[in-house]
Amino acid sequence: MFLLLIVTMAALSSCNKKSETGVTSVSVADLPLKASQYIDTNYPDASVLYVVALKQSSASYIVTLNTTEELAFTSVGDFLGDGAKFHGGHHGGEGDTTHCGDTIHGGGHHGGGHGGGPHENGIPIDSLSSTIKAYIQANFAAYTIKHAELDSICPEGLVTEVVIVIAGQEPVKLYFDAAKSYLLQDARVLYTSVPQAVQSYITANYHGYSTCNRATKYTMADNSLQFLIYLHLNQTRKVVRLKADDTLVCEK
């Protein structure tokens, strides 16, 4: 009886501590507009996996992206920085974003968690193809695999997308085709840093559209470069994929 009492008290204490943290899963629709706009503009290549609201913290919301990045926001939507500094890695539901999101990928906005997650397109890291793991070990040995999922990109079609990370740098996404052969890697860049030929093409062909702060740079298997440019006009979104010499590859 005494042992049972100790176990019961420990369980109650644990529950109380969990309650005191004030962590609640919420919909992305509950985010302040300012926070949603910040994500749209600065992380157009990513989708929202889940959102949690915090009570006893200087951050009111933590947003986790499918790149495994966590973003912290105040109650009015001001960006605070890395969300991992404000909570212990709590997971929640799923969400969506508007304006600058990546529509050139067929996977859309998924729910799920780290390591592939439970969403329908997620791949548990332990189940990832040995061919893909061998490629990453040989070429990105210092990186850690954080997330993997099936996706569809234009014009390649079905791909396996793997997010790898290294301390102090933004995540890198690697893409492999249906045969598990390496296709490309991507990284975020400022739109102002993309080749002038690409910027000129956008200006000439997309009158009235605004560009997001960030673009995506594709480094192809042959080391050539391509760029995804994220555009929006009111509620209309476009993603334009161009080679560095402004040759159009794909538009959605």
Sketch the domain layout of the chain as residue ranges.
2-85, 189-251
Q: Is the pTM of this model over 0.75?
A: no
H helical segments located in the chain: 2-20, 33-42, 130-139, 196-205
Closest CA relative to residue 107, chosen from 184, 160, 63: 160
pLDDT at 117: 40
**How crowded is residue 236: how many other Cβ atoms within 10 Å of its Cβ?**
10
User: pLDDT band at residue 104, thresholds of 50, 70 and 90?
Assistant: low
- List, for residues 197-223, the tens digit of each pLDDT value: 999 999 999 999 999 989 999 999 999
Q: Cβ distance 216 to 186 under 8 Å?
A: yes
- Examine the pLDDT at 244 and tell me if it is beyond 70: yes
* Distance in angstroms (rounded) separating the CA atoms of residues 229 and 242: 8
pLDDT at 102: 57
User: pLDDT band at residue 13, thresholds of 50, 70 and 90?
Assistant: very low
- List, for residues 42-69, the tens digit of each pLDDT value: 888 888 888 999 987 889 999 998 787 8
pLDDT > 90 in the chain, percent? 54
CATH class of 2-85: alpha beta
Strands, sheet with 24-26, edge to edge from the N-terminal-most edge strand: 24-26, 48-53, 61-65, 70-73, 79-82
